[in-house]
Amino acid sequence: MLNKLTIDDISVKGKKVLLRCDFNVPIVDGKITDENRITEELPTIKKLLSDGARLIMCSHLGKPKGYDESLSLKPVAERLSELLSMDIKFISTPDVVNDEVRALAEGLKDGEAMLLENTRFRKEETKCEEAFSEDLAGICDIFVNDAFGTAHRAHCSNVGVAKLKDVSAIGYLMEKEVSFLGNAVEDPVRPFAAILGGSKVSSKISVINNLLDKVDLLVIGGGMAYTFLKSCGVKVGKSLVEDEYLEYAGEMLKKAEEKGVKLLLPVDNLAVKEFDNDAPSRIVDGDLMDDEMAVDIGPKTVALFSEALKNAKTVVWNGPMGVFEKPNFAKGTYEIAKLLSELDATTIIGGGDSASAVNNLGFGDAMTHISTGGGASLEFLEGKELPGIAAVMDK
């Protein structure tokens, strides 16, 4: 499926290997509150170290404008030291790479490791400018990209540095992401179903269009459903609607019909007048009143979606069914997550809010694959080439 060099194809012994990780983890008061992205990276790190690499890891964290101590990767270096039972060397500097860092990299022995400071402390990073790309390329012999979460962006630490190295490869996490998402879309075991939710149609236009050429069933919930329902003449009150996409929604409904794809929309909804977890609510079949907004799918919709999904053999889910952050509006998302956890199928959760929802609701371990990249997995489902993967050498 993916004709890229992997870490199993290259020799790293005695070589300085720059590994682009995705350590963009939530840190509150210096403490990591969810270390999933760190633990997902461990197989690649352990493989490179056991093969004798002199490992230099790098990652971004958050969206700093220049140096910001609260977004330092120091807590990540400390946690990695614990998880790997070894010293992960770390120098905090706004330059990310300076003479002290170069000396540290030069002094690494086989099987030793260091972590660079937050790559976004350098303003060149997100613009993929040469100076920082050259700094990164200058401290390593080989580049390995294992950060799927940023693969849809062309930055210095994934695309810029890859272009400057004679040897580049992908790590195990990137390989796993691309194989699950790629096989699901290009060669799925059928019936193949996609569940799309979340707030906006606009962010998923190309995904809907691309998936309608591939799936047998498309289930639409969450805020984006109300643009579709309004395009069908249903009164949706104050629900989230993108009026400029009403025509597009109509076109997609027509395309589904022409393609013979079953496309399901909510038939009942949980409605409130105030956007508040404790606001009085009611289940509404059909039209909402002008002063109401829908915040979750209703029980009839859960039953309809569940019945349609129960025979699926491959399911891709991106976007919750309602405002799952508020406990009283999370039931629809919970029920769909529970259903998927019990299916005899390949279940792939497309990162972002869907991943948070599935993990927070306790169903994470029951899914076949939870993507570490929200935006990247969406663009992959759109059928786009991701620059962070394209820049790595082909086999």
Q: Is the pLDDT of residue 296 over 80?
A: yes
Strand partners, 264: 219
> At 272, which amino acid appears?
V
State pLDDT tens for residues 317-338.
999 999 999 999 999 999 999 9
Residue 31 has pLDDT above 70, yes or no: yes
- Which residue is it, tokens 């609607």? 241
**Secondary structure class of 297 (helix, strand, coil):** strand
Of 47-56, 335-344, 373-382, the poorest mean pLDDT is in 373-382
Cβ-contact 117, 72 below 8 angstroms? yes
> Tokens at residue 308, please?
């349609």
pLDDT tops 60 at residue 1: no
Question: Quick check: 373 and 148 in contact, CB under 8 A?
Answer: yes
Q: What is the DSSP letter of 4?
A: B
Helix locations, the chain, DSSP H: 36-50, 74-84, 99-106, 130-138, 161-164, 172-186, 205-211, 225-231, 246-259, 299-309, 331-342, 352-360, 374-381, 387-390
Name the burial class of residue 121, with classes exposed (0-12), middle (13-18) and buried (19+) by CB atoms within 10 angstroms of its CB.
buried
**Residue 149 in contact with residue 386, Cβ under 8 Å?**
no
Which whole number is the average pLDDT over 185-197? 93
In this structure, are residues 137 and 131 in contact, taking their beta carbons and an 8 Å threshold?
no
User: What is the pLDDT at residue 360?
Assistant: 87
Q: Give residue 343's pLDDT band: very low, low, confident or very high (50, 70, 90).
A: very high
Per the DSSP assignment, residues forming a β-bridge with 293 are 272
Both tokens assigned to 200: 């906006």
Indicate the pairing of strand 217-220 with strand 346-349: unpaired
What is the token pair recorded at 176? 């796993």
Q: Both tokens of residue 24?
A: 């963009």
**Residue with tokens 């508020």, as numbered in its chain:** 326
pLDDT digits (tens, 9 = 90+) for 102-156: 999 999 999 999 999 999 999 999 999 999 999 999 999 999 999 999 999 999 9
Residue 241 neighbours by CB under 8 Å, 6+ apart: 226, 227, 230
Assigned fold of 180-381: Rossmann fold (3.40.50)
Catalytic machinery residues: 37, 200, 352, 375
pLDDT of residue 200: 87
Rounded mean pLDDT of 178-204? Answer: 90
Percent of the chain with pLDDT over 90: 86
Mean pLDDT (whole number) for 368-392:
89
Cα separation, 310 vs 217, in Å, equals 11
Handedness of CA 100, 102, 108, 111 (dihedral sign): positive
Enumerate residues 6+ apart whose C-beta is below 8 A from 208.
196, 201, 218, 252
Per-residue pLDDT tens digits for 239-276: 999 999 999 999 999 999 999 999 999 999 999 999 99
Q: Reply yes or no on whether the pLDDT at 286 is more than 60.
A: yes
Distance between CA atoms of residues 237 and 18, nearest Å: 53
The DSSP bridge partners found for residue 58 are: 20
User: The tokens of 304 are what?
Assistant: 């309809």
Judge contact between 61 and 76, C-beta under 8 A.
yes
Nearest to 118 by CA among 251, 13, 223, 20: 20
Decide: helix, strand or coil at residue 347.
strand
**HSE-up of residue 125 (Cα within 13 Å, Cβ side):** 26
User: Which option is the CATH number for 16-172: 3.40.50.1260, 1.20.1440.130, 2.30.110.10, 3.40.30.10?
Assistant: 3.40.50.1260
Predicted local confidence at residue 381, as pLDDT: 85
3-state helix, strand, coil in the chain (%, to 5): 40, 15, 40
pLDDT, residue 184, reads 84
CATH 3.40.50.1260 residue window(s) in the chain: 16-172, 180-381
**3-state SS class at 270:** strand
Q: 114: phi > 0 → left, psi -120 to 50 → alpha, else beta; which?
A: beta
Give pLDDT, residue 307.
Answer: 98
> pLDDT-based confidence at 230, cuts 50/70/90?
very high
Per residue in 47-88, pLDDT tens? 999 999 999 999 999 999 999 999 999 999 999 999 999 999
